[in-house]
Structure 1
Amino acid sequence: MAFHLRAATNQDLPFARTLTHQSMSRYYLQYGLLWSNDGFDIAWAGRENWLICRDDTVLGFISLSRDSRAVYIRELHMLEACRGLGAGSWVLEQMAVKAQALGLLRLTVFKTNPAKRLYQRMGFSIVGEEDCFWRMERVCHVS
């Protein structure tokens, strides 16, 4: 069963918002941050959003932005029941291919989020920190 990406639409916004809130609420609580549905919705509207799928099943989503130097992973969330299937690693490789033209793939992760280990396994390095976040990047070259 192969994974694939499907362009997300505005109809997918409630799913993405709910999944992000469920996935991140413990970190928001831990670091005293406030969740904003409106903030999420505004950010969603300005990003490139994809559903991560296997066959007809949606496993999660990824949200991207870019500038002249890098592709930025702004959100990457998997349904809890769908974690550990390899979809996260697969989508990070797909994003590395997407970032080849610019050279860098970047993300920010909460310092206490165990996903940091996945990112490191997938070639990301910590390049900085801000309060409760690690800034990470992966150099992506055309091979």
Structure 2
Amino acid sequence: MSSKSDIKLIKAKIEDKDFLFDLRKQTMVEHLEKSGLFLSDEEHRKRVDKSFENSFLILYQEHRAGLLKYEENEALLEVLQVQILPKYQNKGIGKQVLQYLFEKEKIIQLKVLKDNPAKNLYARLGFITVGEDEHEYHMERACRK
């Protein structure tokens, strides 16, 4: 990310898994349960492990503030997770992280729980709802060159 930003992305390491588990519990349980999804700790840990090689810690002023996990190919980038610790939310961190992804000039797809207010951020940043299932909206942002 740009040097003028207080935000940095660094590759997550195995020793970061406990932080990522705690982050997930702090940021997702409320939204999951509002959606009627009650996950065990084991299920949360499996979600942390899924595509772990594509996990990046979000540092804000050198402090671990969140997670960005994504997969990409030639034309498409799929955001698997963006999670920001509650004490760092509403500081523009999520917006900056997504704007970093926009620089890759690819179609970006993501899913967001229907009860998660992050949907509003995604809509403000140009994502449109292209589908949905029982629990999530499927959103996409066109490539803008």
Bin for the TM-score computed over the shorter chain: 0.7 to 0.9
Superposed CA offset, 1:27-81 (max 9, x none): 2222332420342243043x41111112321111111123454111111111101
Q: Cα 1:115–1:37, aligned 2, differ >3 Å: closer, same or farther?
A: closer
Counterpart for residue 42 of structure 1:
49
Contact 1:13 1:44 (C-alpha < 8 Å) held by counterparts: no
Contact 2:34 2:115 (C-alpha < 8 Å) held by counterparts: no
Counterpart for residue 116 of structure 1:
119
Contact 2:12 2:57 (C-alpha < 8 Å) held by counterparts: yes
Superposed CA offset, 1:73-125 (max 9, x none): 11111110101111111000011123x1xx31111001111110000111111
**Residue ranges of structure 1 left out of the alignment (5+ in a row):** none
Q: Distance in 1 between matches of 2:140 and 2:35?
A: 23
Tell me the number of residue pairs that the alignment of Structure 1 and Structure 2 aligns: 138
Percent identity of the aligned residues?
27
**Residue ranges of structure 2 left out of the alignment (5+ in a row):** none
TM-score of the pair, normalised by structure 2: 0.85
Q: Distance in 2 between matches of 1:135 and 1:41?
A: 21
SS at match of 2:68: strand
Amino acid of the structure 2 residue aligned with 1:3: I
Match of 2:17 among 3, 10, 13: 13
Task: Let me know the Cα RMSD of the aligned residues.
Answer: 1.7
SS at match of 1:19: helix
SS at match of 2:79: strand
Q: Does 1:107 align with 2:113?
A: no
Contact 1:111 1:134 (C-alpha < 8 Å) held by counterparts: yes
Contact 1:6 1:50 (C-alpha < 8 Å) held by counterparts: yes
Which is further off, 4-13 or 127-136? 4-13
